[in-house]
Amino acid sequence: MDKRTCSVILIVCALAIALQVFVLIPLSPDILHLPPTSSTLLAPSNSKLQEVDKLGEGLLKKPEAIAVDKMGVLYTATRDGWIKKLYRNGSWDNWKHIDSDTLLGITTTAAGDLVVCDAENGLLKVGEDGVTVLASRVNGVKIRFADDVVESADGNLYFSIASTKFGLHDWHLDVLEAKPHGQLLMYNSSSNETSILLDNLAFANGVALSADQDFLIVCETWKFRCLKYWLREEKMGQTELFIDNLPGGPDNINLAPDGSFWIALLQLVPNGLEFVHRSRTLKHILMCFPKLSKWAIGVNNKATVINVASDGKIIRSFDDPTGKVMSFVTSALEFENHLYLGTLNCDFIGKLQLTTP
């Protein structure tokens, strides 16, 4: 082959790949707007999350979320499909098994059941007698990627859909695409009907109710902010900003006994890779290679949780700045003066004693 033929072949190959990437794969990622780096809302990074006690180490495969019932029994859902209980005497119980590796947010109900978000199967109720599906469709469309849930005093369930486009195993593609496919849903427990309250959310993640149930908070992970959704009569259905410019993508949020909130923050963009998230072209290419594209998301290198007052002011924060002990911390639940930390990268729940801020 002469040089010329060689060049022609190379050019044809390059064109074929470009055609494949830009024309045949219909992706149109948007620019990700990162919070200003001057938003140093937080005190200097500390290593508090490296001081945790490890509960159930080796027994818990990536326990994403945690709930506690009226008796003080702690629950978590793991990647191998177990709903596990931790009794007050310190012993673990493999309580119920669900054939799923996508169990996410959980909440205990007034009736004594557990409600679980399954990113493949919708909203499930787990009780002593077994598992029932509460909601698997909304407006005739299958519910995918149910993420977090909370029960209000009237028995209704508010829950988030992180993405109607991507699933849990491809969640990073939703961040790369940076187009809002998230929703806030409500399951009405008297009519058994599910409805959409908010649409076009940027990866709707944690949901929590305020202490007096005046409003609901829903976190939008890749918009680095949380919204307030009013439930009180005169403002019903209105939304406003609760907190923005967070120094990480907010994951789960839980109400604390004093009326403040604990929010886990994900480091979505690794330091130095901001340029990737600002380039539509680079993101388009990356999204064609899902395995490779995980490299552009940095959740396993760090852990941060923040305590936010009900008026949206940050009170305190705890970190593992290098992810040495805990990384990809997805939730923080306060119970009896301790913080319990869920994660999608460790095989234990972190337990940290709290002192007054």
Ligand X SMILES: *[C@@H]1O[C@H](CO)[C@@H](O)[C@H](O)[C@H]1NC(C)=O
Q: Under the rule (CB under 6 A), what is the footprint of ligand X?
A: 87, 89, 91, 156, 188, 190-192
Angle at Cα 315 formed by Cα 239 and Cα 205, nearest 5°? 40
- 98-to-94, 115, 120 alpha-carbon distances in Å: 11, 12, 12
* Contact by Cβ (8 Å): 57, 348: yes
We find the least distance from the C-beta atom of residue 94 to ligand X, in angstroms, to be 12
Nearer to ligand X, 38 or 91 (CB): 91
Nearer to ligand X, 231 or 333 (CB): 231
Nearer to ligand X, 156 or 345 (CB): 156
Nearer to ligand X, 127 or 167 (CB): 127
We find the least distance from the C-beta atom of residue 185 to ligand X, in angstroms, to be 12
Q: Which of 352, 339, 349, 275 is nearest to 86 (CA)?
A: 349
We find the least distance from the C-beta atom of residue 67 to ligand X, in angstroms, to be 17
- 103-108/193-201 β-pairing: unpaired
Nearer to ligand X, 45 or 156 (CB): 156
We find the least distance from the C-beta atom of residue 258 to ligand X, in angstroms, to be 28
Nearer to ligand X, 22 or 95 (CB): 95
We find the least distance from the C-beta atom of residue 190 to ligand X, in angstroms, to be 4
Nearer to ligand X, 20 or 195 (CB): 195
d(CA 127, CA 122): 16
We find the least distance from the C-beta atom of residue 317 to ligand X, in angstroms, to be 35
We find the least distance from the C-beta atom of residue 199 to ligand X, in angstroms, to be 17
* Contact by Cβ (8 Å): 150, 208: yes
We find the least distance from the C-beta atom of residue 156 to ligand X, in angstroms, to be 6
By the 10 Å C-beta count (0-12 exposed, 13-18 middle, 19+ buried), 264 is classed as buried
d(CA 339, CA 213): 22
DSSP at 328: S
Beta-bridge mates of residue 93: 85
Nearer to ligand X, 125 or 223 (CB): 125
CA 345 centroid distance within chain: 13
Structure tokens at 247: 């120094």
Q: Going by C-beta distance under 8 Å and a sequence separation of 6 or more, which residues neighbour residue 77? A: 63, 64, 65, 83, 84, 98, 103, 104, 106, 116
